[in-house]
Structure 1
Amino acid sequence: MSAIHIPWSRIPASGDTGGVVPPGQPSDDGDMASRLTALETTLPTLATKGDLHSLDASIKTWMIATVIGLFLGFAGLFFAMNNAARPALAPSVAQAPIVIQVPAYAPLQQEASSPARAQALSRPSAQGSRQ
């Protein structure tokens, strides 16, 4: 879509310009004094450079505080979820110690269990009888 462009030369000169004032012509429609009074009463309520500077500083302060608060909040949420995800510890029951009992050493029973060894023990030794 293209904007409609009407050159200033085509605006009727009868004074009915539809609120549009051609360049170079005064815009006084007879109510200039009331318009000027309205502007002068509004002017003191407008923001000054100092007001804008203090507003800028307060916005920076709030932004920094918000970012710090978000970091702390998410860190707390992370630790809470981490603790909630851990399995619950079962109550610790003391387990009975494991005791391994080794059978007592019986050298004569082990020697008597082999038949050749039993015969050797029952005969007197040849060396011991010669001496």
Structure 2
Amino acid sequence: MDSERFAALEAHYNAILPTLATKADIEALRTEMHRMSADTHKWMVASLIGLFIGFGGLGVTLGQILKPAATQAAAQPPQPIVICLQPPAPQAQK
């Protein structure tokens, strides 16, 4: 009974052993993860710079669009509204 149990454990051990990671496997994984992290960092920084440039351009554009309307309103005072009424026509007398 003891030898059967030992044989089963040995078979289980022999089946699992080839799948375990070696030191070289772990080092390769570490290197790959570091490279992926650096690539992600570069993309995040590039995206942030692009967003700042885009929103800055949008702000400048809106400033240029709204600038003439603001300076024109400040330069000329508003004109008064004038309503001319016609005098009533004389009525014919009988």
Relative to the length of structure 1, the TM-score reads: 0.43
Give the ranges of 4+ consecutive aligned residues of structure 1 lying more than 4 Å apart after TM superposition: none
Q: Secondary structure of 1:47's partner?
A: coil
Q: Deviations over 1:103-129 (max 9, x none)?
A: xxxxxxxxxxxxxxxxxxxxxxxxxxx
Consecutive unaligned residues of structure 1, counting only runs of 5 or more, are 1-27, 93-131
Correspondence for 2:40: 66
Counterpart check, 1:76 vs 2:50: yes
Unaligned regions of 5+ residues in structure 2, if any? Answer: 69-94
| Identity in percent | 23
Q: Is 2:19 the partner of 1:45?
A: yes
Q: CA RMSD in A?
A: 2.1
Which one of the candidate residues 17, 32, 41 is aligned to 2:6?
A: 32
Higher alpha-carbon Rg: 1
C-alpha separation in 1, matches of 2:47 and 2:64:
27
Aligned residue pairs total 64
Q: Whose RCO is larger (CA < 8 A, sep 6+)?
A: 1
More helix by share: 2
Instruction: Establish whether residue 89 from structure 1 lines up as the match of residue 64 from structure 2.
Output: yes
What is the TM-score when the length of structure 2 is the normalising length? 0.59
Deviations 1:13-71 (A, max 9, x none): xxxxxxxxxxxxxxx59522112211111101111111111111111111111111110
Where does residue 75 of structure 2 map in the other structure?
A: none
